[in-house]
Amino acid sequence: MKRFFAAFRSSAKELTDIRCILVTGLLIAVSMVIESQTINLGFAKINFAFLAIAAIGMLYGPVVGLAAGGLCDIIGFVAFPDGGFLPLYTLLGMAQGLLYGTVAYRKLQCGSRTITVKGKRFDLMQLGRLFLARILDVIFINLICNTAANYHYGFLASESSLILAIYGRIAKNLIELPVDLLLMALILPAILKAYEIVFGKRRATV
């Protein structure tokens, strides 16, 4: 529990580092580019903007992740307006960043177990934490909270449309999840490695 709260203190201190501001801003911009390529299915949207939020949470922890998640939603609304501003979605964006920062923050990692696949080394503990964060994101934020927000705002006006949306979201996420996890395994460790090479920061526990 001490390490849990220490992660929040450590993450808050990251905000005083100009590198955190610059890298977070860059990743938010990447998120906006990915968001612009969203495929709207009506009951759900397909995009991989979560990768940028996951990277921010992994690098800088829950406080920075929470702030970045909220900023992504607000900037996305300004850049790609689609109806009125709906604050529940901003809260969900903040919750997503908080989740990745809480579960996958690099400074919370203790030890490592690596495997080598086709010449590439993968840290199993790191990947496990990233995968866990994505699965929790899909279940609690995508399936439960997003559906509830859509119902609250009247996008799902009837019980039948709500049920259809739930089944549609479950099917969409079951199909998309393996792709999400594969992209995380390929992209996020590479981002962390590049970050450590450029800034000379090695993983340290809190």
Q: Is residue 115 in some structural domain?
A: yes
Contact call for residues 114 and 121 (beta carbons, < 8 A): yes
| The two structure tokens encoding residue 162 | 């709500």
Q: Is residue 206 in some structural domain?
A: no
Model pLDDT, residue 112: 60
Model pLDDT, residue 2: 78
Range of the domain at 58: 2-199
Place of tokens 């809260």: 91
Higher pLDDT, 121 or 204: 121
Place of tokens 């604050």: 87
Tens of pLDDT, residues 78-131:
988 877 788 999 999 999 999 999 999 987 665 566 666 666 666 788 899 999
Q: Is residue 177 in some structural domain?
A: yes
Q: Is residue 12 in some structural domain?
A: yes
Q: Is residue 120 in some structural domain?
A: yes
Q: Is residue 204 in some structural domain?
A: no
| CATH number for 29 | 1.10.1760.20
Q: Is residue 23 in some structural domain?
A: yes
Structural domain count, the chain: 1
Q: How many C-beta neighbours within 10 Å does residue 26 have?
A: 13
Q: Is residue 205 in some structural domain?
A: no
10 pLDDT more than 60: yes
The predicted model scores a pTM of 0.88
